Structure 1
Amino acid sequence: MFAIRAAVLILVVLLQVPSGHADERPSMQSVEAFLQKSVEKGSVAGGVLLVYHRGEPILEAPFGFADLEAGKPYKMDTPVIIASISKPLIGTILFRMQEAGKLNLDAPITEYLPEFADPQMKSGEPSPRPPKVGELLTHTSGFRSDYEDGGRIWFQDWTKERPLSEVVAGVAKNIPLNRVPGTKYAYSGIGTDVAARIGEVVSGERRNAFLQSELAEPLQMDHTFYFAKTRVDALPEGMPIRYYRGSRSGKLLRYKKRLPLDDEFYSSSGGTVVSTAEDLGRWLLMLRSRGILPDGSRYLSAASMDAMLHPAPLGYNAAGGLFIRRKNDQGVPVLYAHTGSSGTNVWIDFEQDVIGIMLTQTRASDIKPFRIELQDRVTKAVASEYLEPAVSK
């Protein structure tokens, strides 16, 4: 009788262990199975996953659908709006501009944008000082947060069909600082717009153009550009559908289609870059190699790379805009990442020597559990298949 009870108890315990963890060793195959199950459950419409280890691709996995209704699958080269991953791309560009002597990240923004002279606080008092250029990248500039009233200016009518220069001039005239620069953290897309405008001033190029000349061309990111009419209309298969989960039905629903604007018109500088997994891989591989490109040439110096990945004095970001997700026992950052509201995630783990790129177009808040579990599964699969010593049989 005791043996029967013990057997029943063991069976109950096994049944309570979540599937996918009790009966399988973490592996890239199990990661792919998780992707497929997530699509079948309706957790995510689809996307792509690209994983590198020691600088080499170890998993290329398109999953699910770019268009659920049409049954159109994702491909590895499907371009997506990467949303806020655009922000550290702007940060990378500004560090390159600084290295070229075009700007100083420690300088006040008034050195490049005189329209911000005599900045005012929300209280009506003058600000003790203007923001520094680098504070725009680390969300410590004092500008209004995305989550505060009026923080997402790209949805406001006054920014429509205007160039970035006019939009930033409008910010200078009409949007006071909510905080003293350099004293508090507040995630701000307005700050990224101001940073992009500084890039225009010092380069002599419009934002969409300097994204190409300063990043896409030197890194051979051929499918990376701002969401603008000329490039979007030229895509042979168009853009994937963007989805969100209905609060009542619980089903994935289509967003209203957003049409690309003419090239000269403003869109969110920190939220509307289009890219592919391979292109983002080129950028992250450059970060992994501390600024060195595959041909041995340098995109950024070692000193610039160290500065760009160094923690900001306050907040959660490195100086170049990536989030610092983990530090080692010595307090050194070892895991950097950034997500986007469209359902995107990139990370670079210097301890595991892993790069991960997950691109979907299913709203980030709706797939957060999926995103977190996927990255955890990738981390465990790499540890199991590539880092742990083989078990002799």
Structure 2
Amino acid sequence: MYRRTFLTGAALLCASAQAGIVSGKPREELIDSFARKENFQGVVLIGKAGKPIYLRTVGFADIEAQKPAKLETPYPIASISKWLTSLALLKLQEAGRIDLEAPLTRYLKTYRADTGDKVRLRHLMTNISGIPNGFAPLLKTNPGAMQIDISTGEAVQRYCSGDLKFAPGTAFDYTPTNWMLLIAVIEAVTGKPYAAVMAEMVSGPLGLKHTTTVLPADAAIGYRSISPLQRQTMEEIAPYFMASGGFISTAGDLLSAAHQVFDGGFLAPASKRALITVGWAEESYALGGRVKSLFVDGMPRVFAWETGRTFGYRSVVGHRFDDQTTVVVLNNTSVSQRAMDEFAYSLFGQM
């Protein structure tokens, strides 16, 4: 439903642009209008081939302290963490340490064979594995469940080991248990904690100096609402949730990462093709993120489209493949994800 709504909105934006309603507006006016309508506060960064060509910050990273949003302000990026995790898995495949088409049980030897033999790593990365969300019932009764201090292995046993919800590859289910299992695989094949592997294989080589799983003291404050002003506290989450939504980053880091991954040589050609090959068409979902065909300048263009939503924060990284343009939008005032997507898309019409 969300994807259809977004694409409908995108079509309307395209029609407006062709009629001169959107494309005739200066970029500043477009941002001002969005900020007024949606109470947007945050960072808008546009780049070309990894180089910033436009920056606009709006409002405050900390409203009570009147601390302005800045380019270097860190924001939790939620599900964009899945995209980063997928990069590590592809690099492990390049090194011959995993095979995304292999069954889960090849790497998790003690996982139940009746289901694990059917689930491929690619299924998990595309959210089409059928692994049930055994964590959801606990969260309904225990709001602090995301902070329970157990090992990755114990989390797999407790939350990820139920009977399959559907046959792998036959349905889409956006559940964090897919990504708990992928953390377990990464740790099993490397013998290292997930965060250490991510630093070694992804954030380090990409030069993402401000991308971390630890919330920095200068991170933007998340707000549930602006009127009345109400904070939404960013709670610490257990390490086995990090792949699903635990990273914090900056607009500059995300711009650089998008360029290096999609335009540069960070991934081998086969890995890059795998990353952007849609595995579930109804959700435009590839590996750890989405790939969409959207209209710009009256023509269909293909975009990588990474989004995140958590604790009052919203994020979008859109990257257009044909001209290497990237739009990064980070927000801390609970703007709806649909509104964020349509705003980011409209910015591509202002190039």
TM interval, shorter chain, is 0.7 to 0.9
1:198–1:356 CA distance, 2 compared to 1 (3 A): same
1:168–1:275 CA distance, 2 compared to 1 (3 A): same
Aligned match of 2:197: 210
1:317–1:166 CA distance, 2 compared to 1 (3 A): farther
1:192–1:336 CA distance, 2 compared to 1 (3 A): same
Cα separation, 2, equivalents of 1:364 and 1:203: 39
> Are 1:240 and 2:197 matched, yes or no?
no
Cα separation, 2, equivalents of 1:216 and 1:241: 23
1:138–1:315 CA contact under 8 A, matched in 2: no
- 1:66 Cα deviation after fit: 0.7
* Structure 1 residue identity aligned to 2:151: P
> Are 1:374 and 2:343 matched, yes or no?
yes
After superposition, what is the alpha-carbon deviation per residue over 1:39-86, rounded to whole angstroms, capped at 9, x for unaligned?
4x3723511111112443211222111111221111101011100111
1:189–1:158 CA distance, 2 compared to 1 (3 A): closer
1:312–1:375 CA distance, 2 compared to 1 (3 A): same
Aligned match of 1:362: 333
Cα separation, 1, equivalents of 2:274 and 2:236: 38
Aligned match of 1:269: 243
- Counterpart mapping for 1:1-393 below 5 A: 25-26=24-25, 30-39=26-35, 41=36, 43-119=38-114, 127=115, 129-144=117-132, 157=145, 160-173=148-161, 175-227=162-214, 232=215, 235=216, 237-245=217-225, 251-259=228-236, 265-289=239-263, 291-292=264-265, 299-312=266-279, 315-326=282-293, 334-341=302-309, 342-365=313-336, 368-369=338-339, 371-382=340-351
1:164–1:361 CA distance, 2 compared to 1 (3 A): farther
Select between 251-260 and 163-172 the one with higher mean Cα deviation: 251-260
1:337–1:155 CA distance, 2 compared to 1 (3 A): farther
Cα separation, 1, equivalents of 2:63 and 2:205: 36
1:368–1:115 CA distance, 2 compared to 1 (3 A): same
Cα separation, 2, equivalents of 1:202 and 1:284: 26
* Structure 2 residue identity aligned to 1:282: S
Select between 85-94 and 299-308 the one with higher mean Cα deviation: 299-308
* Structure 2 residue identity aligned to 1:216: S
1:42–1:251 CA contact under 8 A, matched in 2: no
- 1:259 Cα deviation after fit: 4.3
After superposition, what is the alpha-carbon deviation per residue over 1:22-46, rounded to whole angstroms, capped at 9, x for unaligned?
59824xxx3334334444x372351
Cα separation, 2, equivalents of 1:358 and 1:185: 27
Cα separation, 1, equivalents of 2:167 and 2:63: 47
- 1:170 Cα deviation after fit: 2.0
1:49–1:358 CA contact under 8 A, matched in 2: yes
1:277–1:358 CA contact under 8 A, matched in 2: yes
Cα separation, 2, equivalents of 1:308 and 1:24: 31
- 1:244 Cα deviation after fit: 1.8
1:84–1:339 CA contact under 8 A, matched in 2: yes
1:134–1:155 CA distance, 2 compared to 1 (3 A): farther
The runs of 5 or more residues in structure 1 that have no matched partner are: 1-16, 120-126, 293-298, 383-393
User: Comparing both chains, which one has the higher relative contact order based on Cα–Cα distances under 8 Å and sequence gaps of 6 or more?
Assistant: 2
Output the aligned Cα RMSD: 3.2
After superposition, what is the alpha-carbon deviation per residue over 1:201-224, rounded to whole angstroms, capped at 9, x for unaligned?
112210111110010110000111
2:62–2:68 CA contact under 8 A, matched in 1: yes
1:138–1:312 CA contact under 8 A, matched in 2: yes
Cα separation, 2, equivalents of 1:128 and 1:266: 19
Select between 183-192 and 148-157 the one with higher mean Cα deviation: 148-157
| % identical equivalent positions | 25
Q: How many residues align?
A: 327
How does the TM-score come out when normalised to structure 2?
A: 0.82
1:186–1:226 CA distance, 2 compared to 1 (3 A): same
How does the TM-score come out when normalised to structure 1?
A: 0.74
1:144–1:151 CA contact under 8 A, matched in 2: no
1:345–1:74 CA distance, 2 compared to 1 (3 A): same
2:39–2:335 CA contact under 8 A, matched in 1: no
2:46–2:53 CA contact under 8 A, matched in 1: yes
